[in-house]
Structure 1
Amino acid sequence: MHLFKKENGNVERVNFSNSYKFVIDLVNVSGITYLLAQNKNGQLELYTLDKNNWKLLFQKNLIPMKFLKSIDKSGVNSALILALGENDKQIILDINGNNKTPQSATNNDKFYQLSNDTKLITGRFAKIWQLNGIGPINVNSKNEIMAIIETSIHGNKETLVFTGREDDTLDNKFKIYSSKDNYQNPIFNRDGIGEFTAYFAREVDGVILIGSNNGFVELIKDKDTFALQSPSQSVLPGSYNGSQLSKTKLNDIIPISNKTVYILTQGKGLWKIENKKLTKE
């Protein structure tokens, strides 16, 4: 297994430790690159990149899963570590190794996405967990929620969560809930959207991009309400731009600025939207 770094157009190999069994995830926060790995003993290890070598920060008797990334309009602003502990209980750590798991979380709870203000995490059973709070906020939804974003696109600051259809429910509407009414009634729903499930949401240049199991769509403000549409404001119109990422499962959408966005896909590689032009990297 090899890892490479691209800097100023140059690609060079980064030295790897022989102790790794699996490299799980990689993230850059405030100019520091962190690598989440599992060693040959099955333990979690966190490293930072020091020049071209990896420096071990800490090791835990946990199974690493991924980084929970808080992503705002300029990129990743913070990250937490999601891991498995005893009896498959999900554990949340900060990058210093401190346990940040909500106190009332049980073995049945799962954590999905960290909000762009780093204070909230969506979870199983339509819950929103407060990192510094005692208990979760319950969304009045029969479906799971994953995507979460704090935004002012609707005029005033609010937190939005997004839902899709689960296999164990007949409700196939795509819905959006708001913190304005404590997530009790959907402020937007869409019939006939089928298998669309929102994985994450990122705001770029006044448009919320929703990544899903079926490409990505735009959520825009339409007078006093919301409108959901295929990419047209974030990407220049045209058959090429409209077809390349349709029906493509996305791993992430990461804004670098209000004009540049990277899109990580499953099976179609890395793409970039820059000044509304879509190109493959």
Structure 2
Amino acid sequence: MKQKYENYFKKRLILNLLIFLLLACSSESIFSQLGNLQKIKHEYNILGSSSPRGISLVGETLYIAAMHLFKKENGKIEKIDLSNSYEFINDIVNISGRTYLLAQNKEEELEVCELNGKNWTLKFKKPLKAYKFLKSVGRDGVKEAYILAIDKNNREKIFDLQGADKTPPQATENDKFYQISNEENLITGNSLKIWQMNNNTYTNIDYQQAKEIMPIIKTSIRGSSEVLVMTGGYNNLDTKFKVYSNTNNYTTPIFIQDEVGEFSSYFAREFNDAILIGSNNGFAEFTKNKEGIFALRAPSRSVEPGAYNGSQLSKTGLNDIIPVSNNTIYILTQGKGLWKLENRKLTKE
């Protein structure tokens, strides 16, 4: 009984103290303090919950496009204020040492700018909605990029970095473009199409074989050079993961893995003798197992043991994986910021 009364009086004392504090502080000061706490939290975790779409490493400075433009320099990340000019910073890319920025200005126009020193120079603008760069990604960086945009009729358009229209003439208002290959300018699209940018034609995969395709990569991982495409996409409900090859004209899968659950692949990048497949649930490795058989599995060859699972990336959708050297890649997530994988060590930027 004595313990019961002691607990009661302790609770009353705490309650009275809280009432006293509330009476002593004006509502303005309370909300001011809450605002300061939110500001501190935001500044401390400036990229923590962002969704980066692109990066560019210029010397020791890393530029990051995540709705706004950020840069990391001398270990510090800061926001570059371009709000007077742009509504959104859609993407950024580095090609052969030259950095290009894709943005939507306040007049609802697409703009492409190039970095010259510390200043941005306008290359061109168009009355379109900016979407992203279609990036042709090699083992140590982006080799080529095109602009993916949307016109007033909601039709997707493709432009090169000089502003020339490269949209395939056969494309209709219903065609969507997903990923571009690391070589030969092949682009996957909806309705199981593989577009050849150089001659404006496309190949279809049999509708009975797959529901949708998205990742595409030219590789020699199986011993000889071939183009692989993989099932996936944003609306793919198939629980099987299938890989097709141009060696048999994409007629039947060369690889099938059953029951991959909610894993739906978006893109493919070659790294450390494995193909990293980015998805709605982190990334997986497509590589040979101990028996010499190809398999889709959790990262082990590219990441130190335990690091991937501890990062929670397996529960995070990815926007892209961009290599900057043979042993370093950046992982661009959907809502979990920017990560770096260097010499198998995984860290959050």
Whole-angstrom distance in 1 between the partners of 2:132 and 2:169 = 21
Match of 1:138 in 2: 204
- CA-based RMSD: 2.1
Residues 4, 217 of structure 1: CA spacing in aligned structure 2 closer, same or farther, 3 A cutoff? Answer: closer
Whole-angstrom distance in 2 between the partners of 1:30 and 1:204 = 19
SS at match of 1:246: helix
Q: 2:252 aligns with which of 185, 205, 216?
A: 185
> Conserved in 2, the CA contact under 8 Å of 1:211 and 1:253?
yes
> Conserved in 2, the CA contact under 8 Å of 1:70 and 1:78?
yes
Report percent identity of matched pairs: 57
Match of 1:90 in 2: 156
Whole-angstrom distance in 2 between the partners of 1:34 and 1:166 = 27
- The TM-score, its normalising length taken from structure 1, stands at 0.92
SS at match of 2:325: coil
Could you tell me which runs of 5 or more consecutive residues in structure 1 were left unpaired when the two chains were aligned: none
- The TM-score, its normalising length taken from structure 2, stands at 0.75
> Conserved in 1, the CA contact under 8 Å of 2:338 and 2:348?
yes
Q: 1:207 aligns with which of 274, 280, 289?
A: 274
Q: Does 1:101 align with 2:101?
A: no
Alpha-carbon distance, 1:264 to partner: 1.3
> Conserved in 2, the CA contact under 8 Å of 1:26 and 1:33?
yes
Whole-angstrom distance in 1 between the partners of 2:152 and 2:210 = 29
Whole-angstrom distance in 2 between the partners of 1:63 and 1:166 = 20
Q: 2:301 aligns with which of 210, 230, 233?
A: 233
Amino acid at match of 2:264: T
> Conserved in 2, the CA contact under 8 Å of 1:263 and 1:271?
yes
Amino acid at match of 1:143: K
Whole-angstrom distance in 1 between the partners of 2:326 and 2:84 = 40
Deviations 1:201-249 (A, max 9, x none): 11012111111001111110356642111111111112x4323122211
Match of 2:226 in 1: 158
Alpha-carbon distance, 1:9 to partner: 4.6
Moved over 6 A (4+): none
Deviations 1:50-100 (A, max 9, x none): 222211111112211111111110011111000112421110000000111
> Conserved in 1, the CA contact under 8 Å of 2:214 and 2:231?
yes
- Structure 1 window deviating more from structure 2 (26-35 vs 221-230): it is 221-230
Amino acid at match of 2:254: I
SS at match of 1:243: helix
Q: Does 1:262 align with 2:330?
A: yes
Whole-angstrom distance in 2 between the partners of 1:197 and 1:74 = 25
Deviations 1:93-141 (A, max 9, x none): 0000011111100000000011111510100101000001232111224
Amino acid at match of 1:231: P
Match of 2:98 in 1: 32
| Larger relative contact order (CA 8 Å, sep ≥ 6) | 2
Alpha-carbon distance, 1:4 to partner: 3.5
Amino acid at match of 1:190: Q
Whole-angstrom distance in 2 between the partners of 1:262 and 1:177 = 27
Residues 154, 2 of structure 1: CA spacing in aligned structure 2 closer, same or farther, 3 A cutoff? Answer: closer
> Larger % of strand: which?
1
> Larger % of helix: which?
2
Kindly tell me the number of residue pairs found equivalent between the two proteins. 279
- Structure 1 window deviating more from structure 2 (212-221 vs 17-26): it is 17-26
